[in-house]
Structure 1
Amino acid sequence: MGGTPVFIGTRVPIKTLIDYLEAGDSLNEFLDHFPSVSRQQAISLLELAKEMLTVYANPA
């Protein structure tokens, strides 16, 4: 995928999940469209993103 981060064992770019969620689609809808991505992979990615945002966000 030319260096684009993908879910392990798939060719599904991680950004695709973010795009779905930004568009208002549910996690279930994303998983229905990309059955090669497991629910646990998607949840782990979202938990990591939340942790990184919390650590690197500027305090209000």
Structure 2
Amino acid sequence: MKFKYIERNPEILGGKPIFKGTRIPVYLILDFLSAGETIDNILENYPQLSKEAVLEAIKYASEYTRLEEELIEVSN
């Protein structure tokens, strides 16, 4: 699973997924989206991000949960 805007580095935020070149955790942006914030509003507050990066965060969450489901099925 390779992402253009997201990385995990054990030396930054304990290895949590962040947007490359920042210390902004992916979960923070996903939390804003789930609370009803618009992408445009997020970009106003985090100008170092792009719309593509925010959309990739949604894809990242989708793929992560899909993989988690597959692991649960295998272990059962």
Give the TM-score of the pair, scaled to structure 2: 0.59
Larger Rg: 2
State the match for 2:65 in structure 1: 53
Indicate the RMSD between aligned Cα atoms, in angstroms: 2.3
Q: What percentage of residue pairs aligned between the two structures are identical?
A: 28
Dislocated runs of 4+, deviation >6 Å? none
Question: Which structure carries more strand by proportion?
Answer: 2
Query: Contact 2:17–2:25 at 8 Å: present in 1 too?
Result: yes
Where does 1:1-40 land on structure 2 (aligned, <5 Å)?
Answer: 1-3=12-14, 4-40=16-52
Give the TM-score of the pair, scaled to structure 1: 0.69
Separation in 2, partners of 1:15, 1:48:
10
How has the CA–CA distance of structure 1 residues 54 and 12 changed in structure 2, closer, same or farther, with 3 Å as cutoff?
Answer: same
